[in-house]
C-alpha cells in the first residue's frame, strides 16, 4: 500500500474508489503481496522441498485457497468444515493434515473416507478412537502424534501452544509410550511427529530449541518417522519496530536436523502467507468529542476484526486521504458494538479526520475474516481480491436474508 497523489492505494486502485464501488467495511487482499509471500516462503526452505500446508483457520476463503493450491500448497485443517473447504478448493487429499484436540467420531470418519495424508492425533483417547473406526471399516489410517515439546514460543500467552500447561499435544513420556503402543498397529499407521509451539513468533530461537527437543525424543523413541510436521507460527511485522523472523537461521537449523534425521518436513503456515496481504477499509460514521480525546466511531467493529479486543493486538490505521493537519487530541478508534472492548486503538497526533473520511486497518489477512462473527446481528463484510487494476469479489457482503 502506498500514497499516490495523497490517496492510499492498494496495488493500482485507490481505497476511495474501492469504497465507492463496494461500500465499507471491506476486506481487500493484494494479490501481488500474496504471491510474493508464497514464493518467499517456498524459497526460504527450498533445499529440502517441504510439504507446505496452508493453515485454513487463518483464512478460509475458498477463492484464496484455490489460488494457494496453484502454488502446490496443501492444507492444515482443524474441523470438518475446513477439511471440506480445502477439498472443494481442489487441494489433493494426500496434501492435507488434520490437527486439533477434539476431533469427533464424525470428523474422523469423514477424514478416513477422504483418505487424507495424516490425522495428527493429540491424545491417547483420540488414537484409540481412530483405531476403533479404522478397524471397523477395515482401513489403514496414517497418523501423526502431536508432541507438546514444552517450549516457550515467546509470543502472546493467548496464542502460545507448546508449553506443558497448554492443552495441545502429549508430553514426552506419553509420546514415547504411544509410539511403543502403536508402532505395530494394523489399522493405525504411525507416520509423523507433529508440533506447533505457537503463533506470531518473531525469534528463531524457540524453533531451534523445539528442534533440539524433537531430536532428543525421536532418538529415545527409536522409530523412523516418515514426516516431521513443524507446524506454523512464523510471525509478521504488525509494528515497524517488530523484529523480523530470521528464516535463514530457522532453515539452517532444520538442515542440521535433517542431516541427523532424514525425514520429510511439513509446515503449516497461516499468518506468514496471508497476514500482511489484506486491509480493512472502514468509514468514519461519527466523531464524538470529549475533553481529552475524540472517539472516532467507525463502521467496522470487533465482529469484523476481533484481534484487538481479544488479544490487545495492534493493527496500524492509515487515513484514506492524506492531509497535513494533525489532531492535538488523542483519537480513539472504536466500533459501534455495545462492548467497551470494541476498540481498535488510541493514537496521538493522527491527522485531522472528519465524518465520512475513510481509514484503513492494516495487516488483517490472517485471523481477520476467519474470526469474524454476526455479533449484534451485524452483517459480515465483503472480501475483495485486488490484482493490479482489477477487483474480484471473493465473498459477497452478507445480506439480512442470509441471517434470517
| Catalytic residue ranges | 338
Among 144, 162, 231, 320, binds ligand LLP (CB under 6 A): 231
Minimal distance in Å, beta carbon 348 to ligand LLP? 25
Three cell numbers, residue 336: 459501534
Residue 160: beta bridge partners? 198
| CB count in 10 Å sphere of residue 99 | 27
Count the site residues for ligand LLP by CB under 6 A: 22
Query: Which residues, including other chains, have CB under 8 Å from residue 218's CB and lie 6 or more apart?
Result: 193, 225, 261
Among 58, 60, 151, 263, binds ligand LLP (CB under 6 A): 58
Say whether residue 131 binds ligand LLP (CB under 6 A): no
Choice between 76 and 82, CB closer to ligand LLP: 76
- Side-chain half-sphere exposure of 100, counting CA atoms within 13 A: 21
Q: Please choose, out of 19-27, 169-177, 179-187, 262-270, the segment that lies near ligand LLP by the rule CB under 6 A.
A: 262-270
Choice between 33 and 161, CB closer to ligand LLP: 161
Minimal distance in Å, beta carbon 245 to ligand LLP? 11
Three cell numbers, residue 199: 503463533
Say whether residue 308 binds ligand LLP (CB under 6 A): no
Say whether residue 307 binds ligand LLP (CB under 6 A): yes
Say whether residue 55 binds ligand LLP (CB under 6 A): yes
Q: Please choose, out of 121-129, 132-140, 171-179, 268-276, the segment that lies near ligand LLP by the rule CB under 6 A.
A: 268-276
Rounded Cα distance, 348 and 344, in Å: 14
Tell me which residues in 85-114 interact with ligand LLP (CB under 6 A).
99
Which residues contribute to the site for ligand LLP (CB under 6 A)?
55, 58, 76, 99, 159, 161, 196, 199-200, 231-234, 268-272, 307, 311, 366-367
Amino acid at each position: 500500500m502506498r500514497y499516490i497523489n495523497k490517496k492510499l492505494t492498494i496495488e493500482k486502485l485507490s481505497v476511495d474508489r474501492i469504497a465507492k464501488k463496494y461500500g465499507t467495511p471491506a476486506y481487500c487482499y493484494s494479490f501481488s503481496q500474496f504471491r510474493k509471500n508464497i514464493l518467499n516462503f517456498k524459497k526460504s526452505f527450498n533445499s529440502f522441498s517441504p510439504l507446505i500446508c496452508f493453515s485454513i483457520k487463518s483464512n478460509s476463503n475458498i477463492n484464496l485457497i484455490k489460488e494457494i493450491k496453484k502454488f502446490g500448497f496443501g492444507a492444515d485443517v482443524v474441523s470438518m468444515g475446513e477439511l471440506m473447504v480445502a477439498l472443494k478448493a481442489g487441494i489433493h487429499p494426500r496434501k492435507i493434515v488434520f490437527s486439533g484436540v477434539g476431533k469427533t467420531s464424525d470428523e474422523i470418519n469423514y477424514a478416513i473416507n477422504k483418505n487424507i495424508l495424516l490425522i495428527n492425533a493429540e491424545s491417547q483417547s483420540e488414537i484409540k478412537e481412530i483405531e476403533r473406526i479404522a478397524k471397523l471399516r477395515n482401513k489403514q489410517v496414517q497418523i501423526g502424534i502431536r508432541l507438546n515439546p514444552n517450549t516457550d514460543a515467546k509470543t502472546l500467552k493467548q496464542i502460545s501452544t507448546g508449553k506443558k500447561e497448554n492443552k495441545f499435544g502429549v508430553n514426552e513420556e506419553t509420546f514415547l509410550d504411544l509410539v511403543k503402543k502403536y508402532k505395530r498397529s494394523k489399522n493405525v499407521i504411525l507416520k509423523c511427529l507433529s508440533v506447533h509451539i505457537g503463533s506470531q513468533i518473531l525469534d528463531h530461537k524457540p524453533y531451534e530449541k523445539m528442534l533440539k527437543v524433537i531430536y532428543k525424543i525421536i532418538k529415545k523413541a527409536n522409530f523412523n518417522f516418515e514426516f516431521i510436521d513443524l507446524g506454523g507460527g512464523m510471525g509478521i511485522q504488525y509494528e515497524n519496530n517488530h523484529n523480523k523472523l530470521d528464516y535463514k537461521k530457522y532453515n539452517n537449523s532444520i538442515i542440521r536436523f535433517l542431516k541427523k534425521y532424514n525425514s520429510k518436513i511439513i509446515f503449516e503456515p497461516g499468518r506468514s502467507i496471508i497476514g500482511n496481504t489484506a486491509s480493512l477499509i472502514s468509514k468514519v460514521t461519527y466523531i464524538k468529542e470529549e475533553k481529552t480525546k475524540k472517539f472516532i466511531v467507525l463502521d467496522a467493529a470487533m465482529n469484523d476484526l476481533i484481534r484487538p479486543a481479544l488479544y490487545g493486538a495492534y493493527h496500524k490505521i492509515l487515513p484514506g486521504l492524506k492531509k497535513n493537519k494533525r489532531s492535538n487530541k488523542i483519537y480513539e478508534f472504536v466500533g459501534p458494538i455495545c462492548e467497551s472492548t470494541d476498540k481498535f486503538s488510541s493514537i496521538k497526533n493522527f491527522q485531522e479526520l472528519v465524518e465520512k473520511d475513510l481509514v484503513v486497518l492494516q495487516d488483517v489477512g490472517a485471523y481477520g475474516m476467519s474470526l469474524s462473527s454476526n455479533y449484534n446481528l451485524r452483517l459480515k463484510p465483503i472480501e475483495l481480491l485486488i490484482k493490479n487494476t482489477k477487483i474480484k469479489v471473493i465473498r459477497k457482503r452478507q445480506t439480512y436474508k442470509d441471517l434470517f
